[in-house]
């Protein structure tokens, strides 16, 4: 499989994932599983920031490349989500939730591949 195909798959998967996680931050439904119970400990401002950042980042992974309108925004969306994932990892370290830290760092690594891939390996042209 070529870098371009891998990047497209990752952009769609991670874009949809972050849109969903962002909406979860904004809604915070009752009855979340234990692995997501940490969501109840965030303040309203943290939920708003994370939710909006993740939704915009998820859209930024997909829309600029699909529409070919400002496709250079896709790597920037990836970098923005990396910042969010590092902040989340720091927050989870403070709570001694190492499995969540691992997930945050894995997400950041994949986002780094997407950002680098769309910036240098296979940029999407207008």
What span, in angstroms and rounded, lies between the C-alpha atoms of 7 and 57?
A: 15
Token output for 111:
């986002």
The reported pTM is 0.95
Give residue 55's pLDDT: 98
Residue 15 clears pLDDT 90, i.e. is over it: yes
Q: Residue 35: what pLDDT? A: 86
State how far Cα 109 lies from the chain centre: 11
- The mean pLDDT of the chain is 96
Q: Is the pLDDT of residue 39 over 90?
A: yes
**pLDDT given at position 83:** 98
Percent of the chain residues topping a pLDDT of 90? 94
Distinct helix (H) and strand (E) counts, the chain:
4, 0
């Amino acid at each position: 499989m070529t870098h371009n195909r891998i990047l497209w798959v990752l952009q769609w998967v991670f874009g949809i994932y972050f849109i969903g996680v962002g909406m979860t931050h904004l809604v915070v439904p009752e009855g979340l599983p234990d692995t997501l119970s940490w969501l109840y400990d965030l303040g309203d401002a943290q939920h708003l920031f994370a939710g909006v950042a993740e939704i915009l980042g998820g859209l930024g992974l997909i829309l600029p490349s699909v529409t070919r309108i400002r496709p250079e925004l896709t790597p920037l969306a990836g970098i923005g989500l990396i910042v969010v994932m590092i902040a989340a990892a720091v927050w989870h370290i403070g709570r001694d939730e190492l499995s969540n830290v691992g997930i945050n760092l894995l997400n950041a690594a994949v986002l780094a591949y997407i950002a680098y891939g769309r910036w240098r390996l296979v940029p999407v042209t207008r």
